[in-house]
């Protein structure tokens, strides 16, 4: 190889070396933090679960939890997520926990995380909105404008509808599971 061609390779080689060095750094940092990140995510889910069913024990089955109080089955808890208004602009989806009673009514709903507009869509995490879900059956779980019994937040119809849709989807899922005689 001529000297000129070797010199022509230099930029590519320098870039390659820099990429390799920084990839190595990223591997190390990822390894150091991944345990902690997973733990943070588990804690978030556990906190939401215990808010829906305080002082209960959870047994994870496939994609839902059986909830026991003093060894007796009292209901189910499910994690749901879906796109709200924030997700449209590349934000995080709405993540929530739904507690379902044995009679297939909703016990309560807690939002784990969301990226809705602050001051408007962010009201989905307030008790005023979420307390409406308690005791509702599958048929009631629609916005009032769609024939259901949930009032949307003023100015945040898309966020409200997203929450109602996620909750209805999860209740439907557990209702069909229970229908199979489990």
Partner 1 sequence: MRIQEFTKGIIKRNAVFSLALGLCPTLAVTIMVENALGMAFAVTFVLVLSNLIVSVIKGFVPPDVRIPCFIVVIASLVTVIEFIMRAYSPTLAEHLGIFLPLITVNCLILGRAEAFASRRPVADSILDSLGMSVGFGLALIMVSAIRELLGSGKIVIFGHEIVPTVLSSPAVAMTLAPGAFLTIGILLAIMRRFRVI
Toward partner 1, which CB reaches closer, 38 or 73? Answer: 38
* Bridge partner residues of 64 (DSSP): 61, 78
Over the window 95 to 114, marking each residue x when it contacts partner 1 by CB under 8 A and - when it does not, the resulting string is ------------------x-
Integer-rounded Cα Rg, in Å, for the chain is 24
Residue 73 within binding range of partner 1, rule CB under 8 A: no
Toward partner 1, which CB reaches closer, 119 or 179? Answer: 119
Q: What is the largest CA-CA distance in the chain?
A: 81
**Of 92, 135, 149, 178, which lies in the binding site for partner 1, with binding defined by CB under 8 A?**
92
Question: Exposed, middle or buried, 113 (CB in 10 Å: 0-12/13-18/19+)?
Answer: middle
Toward partner 1, which CB reaches closer, 49 or 106? Answer: 49
Which residues from 2-21 bind partner 1, rule CB under 8 A?
10-12, 14-15, 18-19
76: Cα separation from own chain's centroid: 16
**Of 6, 37, 73, 102, which lies in the binding site for partner 1, with binding defined by CB under 8 A?**
37
Query: 92, 93, 84, 104: which is closest to 164 by C-alpha?
Result: 84
Category of 155 on φ-ψ map: left (φ > 0), alpha (ψ -120 to 50) or beta: left
Q: Write out the residues near partner 1 by the rule CB under 8 A.
A: 10-12, 14-15, 18-19, 22-23, 25-26, 29-30, 33-34, 36-37, 40, 44, 90-92, 113, 115, 117-120
């Amino acid at each position: 190889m001529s000297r000129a061609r070797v010199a022509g390779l230099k930029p590519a080689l320098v870039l390659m070396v820099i990429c390799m060095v920084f990839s190595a750094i990223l591997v190390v940092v990822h390894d150091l933090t991944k345990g902690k990140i997973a733990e943070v995510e588990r804690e978030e889910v556990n906190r939401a679960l215990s808010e829906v069913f305080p002082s209960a024990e959870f047994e994870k089955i496939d994609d839902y939890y059986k909830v026991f109080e003093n060894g007796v089955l009292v209901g189910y808890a499910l994690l749901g997520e879906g796109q709200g208004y924030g997700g449209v602009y590349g934000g995080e989806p709405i993540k929530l926990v739904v507690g379902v009673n044995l009679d297939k009514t909703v016990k309560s709903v807690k939002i784990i995380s969301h990226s809705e507009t602050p001051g408007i869509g962010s009201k989905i995490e307030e008790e005023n909105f979420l307390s409406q879900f308690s005791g509702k059956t599958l048929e009631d779980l629609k916005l009032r404008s769609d024939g259901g019994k949930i009032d949307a937040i003023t100015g945040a119809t898309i966020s409200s509808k997203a929450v109602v849709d996620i909750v209805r989807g999860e209740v439907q899922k557990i209702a069909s599971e229970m229908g199979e005689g489990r």
